[in-house]
Structure 1
Amino acid sequence: MTANTAEPEEHTADPADRRREQRGWYFYDFACSVYSTSVLTVFLGPYLTSVAKAAADAEGFVHPLGIPVRAGSLFAYAVSASIVVAVCVMPLVGAAADRTGRKKPLLAVAAYLGAAATTGMFFLDGDRYLLGAFLLIVANASLAVSMVLYNAYLPQIAEPDERDAVSSRGWAFGYTSGALVLVLNLVLYSGHDSFGVSEGTAVRICLASAGVWWGAFTLVPLRRLRDRRVRETGGEGAVGGGWRQLMATLRDMRRHPLTLSFLLAYLVYNDGVQTVISQASIYGSEELGLEQTTLITAVLLVQVLAVAGALGMGRMARSYGAKRTILVSLAVWTLILAAGYFLPAGAPVAFFCLAAAIGLVLGGSQALSRSLFSHLVPRGKEAEYFSAYEMSDRGLSWLGPLVFGLAYQLTGSYRDAIISLVIFFAVGFVLLARVPVRRAVAAAGNPVPERI
Structure 2
Amino acid sequence: MGTDTVGTAAVDEAADRRREQRGWYFYDWACSVYSTSVLTVFLGPYLTSVAENAAGADGFVHPLGIPVRAGAFFPYAVSLSVIVSVLAMPLVGAAADRTGRKKPLLGVAAYIGAGATAGMFFLDGDRYLLGGALLIVANAAQSVAMMLYNSYLPQIATPEERDRVSSRGWAFGYAAGALVLVADLVLYLAHDSFGLSEGMAVRICLASAGLWWGAFALIPLRRLRDRRTPVREATAPGLRQLAATVRDMRRHPLTLGFLLAYLVYNDGIQTVISQASVYGSEELGLEQSTLITAVLLVQVLAVAGALGLGRLARVYGAKRTILGSLVAWTVTLAAGYFLPAGQPVWFFVLAAGIGLVLGGSQALSRSLFSHLVPPGKEAEYFSAYELSDRGMSWLGPLLFGLTFQLTGSYRDAIISLVAFFVLGFVLLARVPVHRAISDAGNPVPEKI
For normalisation by structure 1, the TM-score amounts to 0.88
Question: Which one of 311, 327, 330 corresponds to residue 326 of structure 2?
Answer: 330
5+ residue gaps, structure 1: 1-10
Question: Which one of 432, 435, 438 corresponds to residue 436 of structure 1?
Answer: 432
Q: What's the CA shift string for 1:392-432, capped at 9, x where partnerless?
A: 11122244446667888999986675444333222212211
1:360 aligns to what? Answer: 356
Q: What's the CA shift string for 1:259-297, capped at 9, x where partnerless?
A: 000001111111222233344445545654433332222
The answer to which of 396-405 and 428-437 deviates more is 396-405
Pick closer, same or farther for the CA change 1:326–1:87 going to 2, 3 Å.
same
Measure, in 2, the Cα distance between the counterparts of 1:338 and 1:68.
40
User: Contact conserved, 1:190 with 1:293, CA < 8 A, in 2?
Assistant: no
Partner-residue secondary structure (3-state), 2:230: strand
Measure, in 1, the Cα distance between the counterparts of 2:91 and 2:41.
31
User: Contact conserved, 1:61 with 1:71, CA < 8 A, in 2?
Assistant: yes
Superposed displacement of residue 227, structure 1: 0.4
Amino acid at match of 2:201: A
Pick closer, same or farther for the CA change 1:418–1:203 going to 2, 3 Å.
farther
The residue correspondences of 1:144-223 to structure 2 (distance < 5 A) are 144-223=143-222
Q: Which has the higher contact order (CA 8 A, sep 6+)?
A: 1
The residue correspondences of 1:123-134 to structure 2 (distance < 5 A) are 123-134=122-133
Pick closer, same or farther for the CA change 1:243–1:37 going to 2, 3 Å.
closer
For normalisation by structure 2, the TM-score amounts to 0.89
Measure, in 2, the Cα distance between the counterparts of 1:51 and 1:299.
24
1:265 aligns to what? Answer: 261
5+ residue gaps, structure 2: 1-9
The answer to which of 290-299 and 176-185 deviates more is 290-299
User: Contact conserved, 2:29 with 2:216, CA < 8 A, in 1?
Assistant: yes
2:250 aligns to what? Answer: 254
2:41 aligns to what? Answer: 42
Pick closer, same or farther for the CA change 1:264–1:389 going to 2, 3 Å.
same
Pick closer, same or farther for the CA change 1:270–1:139 going to 2, 3 Å.
same
Measure, in 1, the Cα distance between the counterparts of 2:411 and 2:51.
21
User: Contact conserved, 1:269 with 1:424, CA < 8 A, in 2?
Assistant: yes
Partner-residue secondary structure (3-state), 2:196: coil
Partner-residue secondary structure (3-state), 1:145: helix
Q: What's the CA shift string for 1:152-195, capped at 9, x where partnerless?
A: 10011000000000000000110111111011112111211111
Superposed displacement of residue 149, structure 1: 0.5
Query: Identical aligned pairs, as a percentage?
Result: 81
2:93 aligns to what? Answer: 94
Amino acid at match of 1:361: V
Superposed displacement of residue 12, structure 1: 11
Pick closer, same or farther for the CA change 1:61–1:243 going to 2, 3 Å.
closer
The residue correspondences of 1:209-358 to structure 2 (distance < 5 A) are 209-232=208-231, 236=233, 238-239=234-235, 247-285=243-281, 288-358=284-354
Q: What's the CA shift string for 1:105-156, capped at 9, x where partnerless?
A: 1111111111112112222333444433332222111111111100110011
Measure, in 2, the Cα distance between the counterparts of 1:193 and 1:415.
38
1:19 aligns to what? Answer: 18
User: In angstroms, what is the RMSD of aligned CA positions?
Assistant: 2.8
Superposed displacement of residue 374, structure 1: 0.5
Q: What's the CA shift string for 1:223-267, capped at 9, x where partnerless?
A: 0000012134x5x3x457887765543332111000000001111
Count of equivalent residues = 439
Measure, in 1, the Cα distance between the counterparts of 2:21 and 2:333.
34
Measure, in 2, the Cα distance between the counterparts of 1:81 and 1:409.
25
Q: What's the CA shift string for 1:17-73, capped at 9, x where partnerless?
A: 000000000000000000111111122223333334445566765555565555444
User: Contact conserved, 2:235 with 2:241, CA < 8 A, in 1?
Assistant: no
Partner-residue secondary structure (3-state), 2:98: helix
The residue correspondences of 1:363-442 to structure 2 (distance < 5 A) are 363-401=359-397, 417-442=413-438
Measure, in 2, the Cα distance between the counterparts of 1:406 and 1:59.
26
Superposed displacement of residue 360, structure 1: 0.1
User: Contact conserved, 1:76 with 1:405, CA < 8 A, in 2?
Assistant: no
Superposed displacement of residue 204, structure 1: 1.7
